[in-house]
């Protein structure tokens, strides 16, 4: 049973500023599946670090990490990050074929330099893993956070019944997923398609236009003004988060925080950082362009900048600097 987005965001809202220690430990954990490309840009690494910080603070529980890009290096990089944060056994779903290099300045190096034990050949495939994880959760509890392209979610919607659930994919999602927090698109619209929607346009259109539960979008315009990561140079040398940013950014510089915004909003809601535009829906075209339409109301919403980007950056970077308890 889908909960109205307005109700949901009130439920999710917690007072928040920067470090995990400042957040109420009574906040109940949000069950999260993170769907990431973890290749072209380093903000996926920052986003996974933020999610681990929220998990260490009792705000989130990481059910699985799904890879949207079919290269063999990105899932090993993700496993290295999970291992660093003491969660080496988080299941990671991969797409075929698992060959070729990541379009990445950091994924191979992080995978080769830092401890991880992920094997692409043995790794579960994304859609069966989605179905397995969703089927085991209580109804209406799972938050999916997507920070890459949307092939996995489109295929999940179209997946048939299997040994994990007698439900077709769209019905399984309707029953289990409370919210999809999606980094993608421009709001209210733009002449060009945003990266995550553009690279797999038909799948983005299929996933967004047919999704049966609330969606909260973070557009390109939001995270592009939030620059984080420069302070990672102060963190331990063995950190895969520090290493990825080191490999991606010029010394002393940070990077836009598109993906971190969707992680934070998926777990904490508006966080005091953003306003939420409701009413109407987001339509995605087959070429990946999107436009916000005034009716009908499809329980879609998007984030709008409210706090100064520097203040949001301070909060997000504080979470990215979080170190695991050894
Ligand atoms: Ca592992
Ligand atoms: Ca991404």
pLDDT in tens, 217-274: 999 999 999 999 999 999 999 999 999 999 999 999 999 999 999 999 999 999 999 9
> 189 in helix, strand or coil?
strand
Q: 231 C-alpha to center of ligand 1: Å?
A: 27
Residues 289, 311: Cα–Cα separation, whole Å: 30
Q: How far is the CA of 36 from the centre of ligand 2 (A)?
A: 6
Tell me which architecture the domain covering 5-320 has in CATH. Answer: Alpha-Beta Complex (3.90)
pLDDT at 17: 33
**pTM more than 0.85:** yes
CA 79 to ligand 1 center in whole angstroms = 5
User: Would you give the distance in Å from CA 66 to the centre of its chain?
Assistant: 9
Determine the distance separating the centroid of ligand 1 and the alpha carbon of 222, expressed in angstroms. 33
Q: What is the pLDDT along the chain (326 residues), one digit of tens a residue?
A: 444 554 444 444 333 333 333 333 334 899 999 999 999 999 999 999 999 999 999 999 999 999 999 999 999 999 999 999 999 999 999 998 766 677 899 999 999 999 999 998 889 999 999 999 999 999 999 999 999 999 999 999 999 999 999 999 999 999 999 999 999 999 999 999 999 999 999 999 999 999 999 999 999 999 999 999 999 999 999 999 999 999 999 999 999 999 999 999 999 999 999 999 999 999 999 999 999 999 999 999 999 999 999 999 999 999 999 999 86
Strands (E), the chain: 30-36, 60-67, 92-93, 142-147, 177-183, 215-218, 227-228, 255-256, 274-278, 281-284, 290-293, 300-305
Nearest listed ligand to the Cα of residue 223: 2
Q: Which ligand is nearest to the CA of 102?
A: 2
Going from N- to C-terminal start, the domains of the chain cover 5-320
State the CB neighbour count (10 A cutoff) for residue 158: 15
The residues, any chain, with a CB within 8 Å of residue 160's CB and separated by 6 or more, are: 168, 169
Q: How far is the CA of 163 from the centre of ligand 2 (A)?
A: 31
Query: Of the bound ligands, which one is closest to the alpha carbon of residue 88?
Result: 1
What's the rounded Cα separation, in Å, for the pair 248 and 254?
9
> Measured on CA atoms in the order 11, 129, 185, 315, is the torsion positive or negative?
positive
Which residues are found with C-beta within 5 Å of the ion, ligand 1? Answer: 79, 88, 117
């Amino acid at each position: 049973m889908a909960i109205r987005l307005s109700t949901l965001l009130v439920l999710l809202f917690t007072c928040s500023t920067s470090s995990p220690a400042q957040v109420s430990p009574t906040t109940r954990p949000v069950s999260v599946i993170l769907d990431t490309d973890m290749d072209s840009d380093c903000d996926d690494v920052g986003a996974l670090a933020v999610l681990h910080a929220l998990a260490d603070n009792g705000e989130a529980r990481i059910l699985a990490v799904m890879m949207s890009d079919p290269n063999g290096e990105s899932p090993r990089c993700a496993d290295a990050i999970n291992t660093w944060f003491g969660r080496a056994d988080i299941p990671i779903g991969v797409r075929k074929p698992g060959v070729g290099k990541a379009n990445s300045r950091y994924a191979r190096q992080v995978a080769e330099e830092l401890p991880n034990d992920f094997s692409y050949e043995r790794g579960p495939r994304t859609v069966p893993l989605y179905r397995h994880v969703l089927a085991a959760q209580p109804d209406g509890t799972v938050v999916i956070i997507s920070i890459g392209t949307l092939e996995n979610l489109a295929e999940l919607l179209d997946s048939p019944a299997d040994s994990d659930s007698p439900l077709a994919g769209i019905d399984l999602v309707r029953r289990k997923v409370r919210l999809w927090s999606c980094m993608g698109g421009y709001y209210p619209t733009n002449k060009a398609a945003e990266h995550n929607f553009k690279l797999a346009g038909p799948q983005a259109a299929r996933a967004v236009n047919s999704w049966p539960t609330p969606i909260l979008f973070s557009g390109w315009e939001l995270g592009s003004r939030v620059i984080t990561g420069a302070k990672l140079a102060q963190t331990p040398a063995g950190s895969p988060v520090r290493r990825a940013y080191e490999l991606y950014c010029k010394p002393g510089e940070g990077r836009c925080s598109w993906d971190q915004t969707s992680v934070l909003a998926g777990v904490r809601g508006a966080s005091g950082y953003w306003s939420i535009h409701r009413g109407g829906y987001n339509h995605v075209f087959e070429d990946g362009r999107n436009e916000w339409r005034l009716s009908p109301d499809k329980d879609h919403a998007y984030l709008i900048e409210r706090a100064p980007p520097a203040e949001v950056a301070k909060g997000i970077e504080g979470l990215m600097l979080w170190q695991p308890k050894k």
